[in-house]
Structure formats: C-alpha cells, structure tokens
Amino acid sequence: MARHPDRREIVSVEIVADADTVWAHVREPAKIRRWFGWHDDGIDDEIRRMFVTDARVMESDELASRGGPVRSLIWKGGDVLTVWPSTTPRGAHSVLTMSRRPYESFDVFSGLYDDVDERWIASAQQLRFALELHPGAERRTLRAAGLDAGPPGRRLLDRVGLHGIRGVPVGCHFETRRPDGTLLGGTIWHRTEYQVGIRLHGANEPLLIIDHNPTPLRASNGRVTAVLSTFGTDDETFAAIGQHWARWWGLRAPAKTPDAASPRDHERLRRVLHRTHADVLV
C-alpha cells in the first residue's frame, strides 16, 4: 500500500514487531544506531541531525481501525519514512516504507544507481533484521567500501568466495568456501538489483549486505561495498571478527596487516567465534 503516490517508493518491509516498537526505533537515537547505515566517527551526529533536528513528524488516524495511526518522518528534500500497524493472524506486525521524490522533479537525472536509495534499502533491511533476530541487542559494524568490482573473469565477489550467492532465492540457504579455506554459509535475507543481504551462520548470526554500484569510476569496473552488522558482540569477539574481515576483503587490519597473522591469531579466532554444524567461521 503506497502512502505517498506522488513519490517513488524505495523500499517497503513488513516487520515482525508492533508499530510502537518500530516507531521508537526511528525516533530514539540510541535505537536508531542499531540499524541505520554503518558506524563511523560521525554516526551519532548524523543520526541526531537527520532524525531529531531535520525530520518533521506527521501522524494520521487513517488506519486507526486497523490498530493504530500512520506515522511519518518527513524531510525537506522530499524523503518520507512511514510506519503503520499491520495486524495479521500471526500477530502484530508493522509496515515501514521509504519514499522519495520522483526523478522527474530533479534537475539532473542521477542514473540507474542511486546511492541514497540503496542506503535506505539497506537500512530498512537492517532494521527488520535487528528487531526480528536481535531485539534489544547493540550493534557493531564493519565496512569495506568502494572496492573495485573487478573485470570479467576476475570479479571481486568471485575472488572472495561469494560466487555461490548468485541466483539463490530469498529465504534459501547457500554454502561456499572462501580462498583461505574457511566455509561460509548463510540464508539470503533480501535481494534487489544492486544489493544482497545475507543472514550469516555462526558468530551470533550477523547480517552481511553487499552493494554493487555498476557505474564505472575512472579505471574501475564498478564498486563493491560490504557492511557487516554484528549484535551483542564483546570487545574480544569483535576484534577477532575485524581481523578476519580485513583478511577476507584484502584490507589493512586494525592492529596488524593480514600478512602478520600468526597461528596463535588463527587459534584465537577459532576460540572466540562460534561455528555451525557446517563448520562455518564468520
């Protein structure tokens, strides 16, 4: 159900949580942190500016007969985030939609890939994931941004062992082996033209979202950005995940370079990270 027919609906998700809970997660900064974007030094200021300072609240009793009001956050640029209740035989659910101005209202058409659209899609899925699988848990994130997608025959996702996710339907399981020999398994959480979300098995079931911007940039073949959302991880576990993440994506590790990893480091990873029946190490 489109709440704003004069705008482009970017994403609509049904969330297994009541509307008051979902609304609180788009109004309270500490809860917004559990799903919006990714964490960097400016995330708290960005959340306060976007959701507290800049957003205008609108409420309608249009759907009061269905269990509650329709509530929206509206921004000056025309973006509208809307939450309303959706009572089903399975219990109280909610629907969250994000809509934006149509491209015709912009002076310049930004092309097929829109960074803001993709960020809202990912954030909405991260909210659904946080509320349905990790309610109340604090989130910590890792990000590998703007990586060269690679030429035909040498695609980055193939090189890091993610070729197995192609064509896997939403809700279905996949398993693949990464270049370092570790197994990776998960369930496809969502899929759009430019991104895929994976509910990874092991290590408290984090969410991995991979975004592929096919627009060439200088000599690149498009760009890949990966964001990992972990929940309820302590410092030791998160540090170990960070070391493994850096080696996987070929990044500089927070404390050591990938080449400096010792057998003791690998043993530490295996000690603090959970493993599934498929021996999946996240």
In the chain, the percentage of residues whose pLDDT exceeds 70 is 80
Digit-coded pLDDT (tens) for 226-235:
999 999 999 9
Distance CA 251, CA 125 (A): 26
pLDDT tops 50 at residue 259: no
Q: Judge contact between 145 and 134, C-beta under 8 A.
A: no
Every domain range in the chain assigned CATH 3.30.530.20: 139-272
β-pair partners for 255: none
Q: pTM for this one? A: 0.84
Task: Write down the residue that tokens 């590790």 correspond to.
Answer: 253
Digit-coded pLDDT (tens) for 56-96:
999 987 655 567 899 999 999 899 999 999 877 677 899 99
65 against 264, higher pLDDT:
65
69 against 189, higher pLDDT:
189
pLDDT in the model for residue 203: 67
Mean pLDDT, residues 267-276 taken together: 38
β-pair partners for 82: 72, 97
Average pLDDT in the chain = 84
Give 254's pLDDT tier (boundaries 50, 70, 90). Answer: low
8-133 to CATH, choices 3.40.50, 3.30.420, 3.30.530, 3.40.1350: 3.30.530
In CATH, the architecture of 139-272 is: 2-Layer Sandwich (3.30)
